[in-house]
Amino acid sequence: MELGQLTQNAMTVLKKRYLQKDPQGNIVETPEELFRRVAKNIAQADRFYHPEIDLPPFEDDFYSLMASLDFLPNSPTLMNAGRELQQLSACFVLPVGDSMDEIFDAVKQMALIQKSGGGTGFSFSRIRPKNDVVGSTQGVSSGPVSFMSVFDTATETIKQGGTRRGANMGILRVDHPDVLHFIQCKEGDHHFNNFNISVAATNEFMEAVEEGRAFVLRNPRTREIIGSLNAREVFEKMVHYAWKNGDPGIIFIDRINQDNPTPQVGQIESTNPCGEQPLLPYESCNLGSINLSNMVRNGAIDWERLGSATEKAVHFLDNVIDMNRYTLPQIEAMTKANRKIGLGVMGFADLLILLGIPYNSPKALEIGGKVMAFIQKRAREASRELALKRGSFPNFDGSTLKGRWDAMRNATVTTIAPAGTISIIAGTSSGIEPLFALAFIRHVLEGKELLEANPYFEALAKQEGFHSEELMRKIAYSGNIQNIKEVPENIRKLFVTAHDITPEDHIRMQAAFQKYTDNAVSKTVNFPHDATVEDVAKVYRLAYELGCKGVTIYRDRSRAEQVLYKGVDSQGKDRLKEEEEFCEEERKPRARQDVIHGSTRKIRTGCGNLYVTVNEDEEGKLFEIFNQIGKAGGCVASQSEAIGRLVSLAFRSGIEPEDIIRQLKGISCHTPVWYREGKVLSCSDAVAKAIEWHLQEKEGRIKTEPQVRASIPKHPSKEEGGSFQRSLSLVFQRGACPECGGPLVFEEGCAKCYCGYSDCG
């Protein structure tokens, strides 16, 4: 079997994260050798059931499955199979008990898992609420949110085998007394950066929301009712914060447990970091995705190829369970007792394009349901066949499984995962998401720009005769093609992007796949920047009505960690034209008066005390800042001065303070410190906070702190001039990938880049 065609982006990702390297960092493995290494290793599991086999008979099948890019397993399997680590799972859920021993056991277990490349999910619902009694010390509890900080800080220090970053899911039941504190715990962007958070909503709560009545709160330690809240008000607060910055999401915990295949073993409390894999405590799951863009032949779905890929993938994923090297004995025992696998899809948007079907059409919903129903049916049949040969999973109880099967090798067989990085390797669209953009500009070394376009759109543009470099660049800046008249109308309808689709269409597609998925579906519902809180509330209600197991939403530009912008704003203006006109304005910064007024604020940082002076002009607008770091010299002092000069230049050139705050806030270094009941992540973060506090103080939103009032005649040095373009980059560089400089896309609760970077690992 020849290797499928790998794109330049695929090769970049493989070289950076997957191919083996020698101790000097030199790549010593080709993509073909990677797939052969994984296939050979995973096929070894067949010997456990057939010791007489000399050579694994399915090695070639597994190799062909991956080399053709018809199917790829989750990243840890590609990275680690056949290598020393041999940790093959991506998804884990760990229990968090109510005692100090149990809580810190979970922190230690999390560290071991994340070090080996896994993501972890937690329910903090068992921890007693804030101010509840602690009998052993006669003190009071600090509550679950405070303990989440311990997990977050530990994750910050862990490097996942040098290849994956730490990622967590934090869940709290809606009937926990601290639910309101939990809902707003990520306010301000820089809190709990290593967590996605979701509220576990019960059926009782959702019914109370519809009826506008109260629901009860229970102390998890005693199970006693200790109060009540108005359900609609709590729901509105959840929706408000999701609208504000994307968190919290919501999972429908009772619905998840209705589909729990092993209720006799325990109740599901949490999911993995992206929310698509509900798991019991100490359970792990192995995921993989079929590339639907490879399943088209002569303009129709090749059902035979899809069925064959499904059967082989189930066999592959079941073998992974046996070949896995488990971090903890409890995880090995629970995983092998239930043998859950999660087979999903990627390339669904590309499939629709190849079939000529718009993503936001009834036909697309029909195709989504039909494809997933087929995969689920064939996957269950394949699992049953394995069970007849190898035995059902130890906790099997046919009466609890849908369809009342007489045998089943795996408690679950289907999951729709994000498939972010592996979809780049496969050269296809991510999961079941629509295309995010048809073209974008990638910034590379030495200031060069590379124009990259969706290959299907570019090929069709050339075929239809409207392709040009100028047009593709225009599309890259505008974000989509719906207002570009050079593109024929039928093609504009076919190539819709995530922001061309209504939030309701997003949810309906998620529901179409959820109907035929054992576990859950990872899907982001994209909202425009001008969406209202009520718009988000409607989608949450619709998701519950349509049978989804959870919702993740993201409103464009609602986080300082800005994702790829839409090109057309809410007034319909062409952003490209707007930026060109802006850049043509007078670029000379405002002149400085001899005397201006301001204030100096002292902030503790990991490098020492930083003194930030914020000065205003005669109209009360921010004009400049000066930074001085106490008892520090050399690089620290020079960097602090450089930040001050650039921020001053931006102020004087008309850049809004909020843009500068968003640019600097959240930048972290290796020595964060606690200050004013929060964390100062770096000197840059401290400067942002100083500016923000100055503005809040002007508006009367915070109390005035003891400060050094300044009325100092300052003369800016000639170095404070410089290029307006340098300060302009403070705005235009938002949303850049920290690894390659390309645009970030927000999907499934993660900021991701086409180079393979993801803040969720």
**d(Cα 144, Cα 124) in Å, to the nearest integer?**
6
Beta strands in 208-336 (DSSP E): 214-218, 225-230, 249-252, 270-271, 278-279, 283-291, 296-297, 300-301
CB 244 within 8 A of CB 266: no
Burial of residue 356 (CB within 10 Å: 0-12, 13-18, 19+) is exposed
For the chain, how many helices (H) and strands (E)? 26, 28
Q: Which of 91, 274, 683, 755 is catalytic?
A: 274
**d(Cα 509, Cα 365) in Å, to the nearest integer?**
6
Nearest residue to 441 (alpha-carbon basis) of 472, 484, 480: 472
Q: At 139, phi and psi to the nearest 5?
A: -105, -160
Q: Which of 59, 269, 276, 452 is catalytic?
A: 276
490 is catalytic: no
Nearest residue to 420 (alpha-carbon basis) of 31, 4, 760: 760
- SS3 for 167? coil
The sheet carrying 708-712 orders its strands as 622-629, 608-616, 596-605, 708-712
Torsion, Cα 318 323 325 326, to 10 degrees, reads 20
276 is catalytic: yes
311 is catalytic: no
Torsion, Cα 49 318 116 751, to 10 degrees, reads 170
Residues 698-734: b if buried by 16+ CB within 10 A, e if exposed: eeeeeeeeeeeeeeeebebeeebeeebeebbebbeeb
Angle at 148 between CA 143 and CA 150, to 5 degrees: 110
Q: At 446, phi and psi to the nearest 5?
A: 60, 30
Q: At 611, phi and psi to the nearest 5?
A: -105, 120
CB 743 within 8 A of CB 564: yes
CB 205 within 8 A of CB 254: no
**d(Cα 373, Cα 258) in Å, to the nearest integer?**
19
Q: Which residues contact 247 (CB under 8 A, 6 or more apart)?
A: 186, 196, 197, 241, 749
Listed in sequence order, the DSSP H helices in 432-532 are: 455-464, 469-478, 489-494, 503-514
CB 541 within 8 A of CB 300: no
Which helix (H) or strand (E) element contains residue 334?
Answer: helix 329-338
The residues that are catalytic are 272, 274, 276
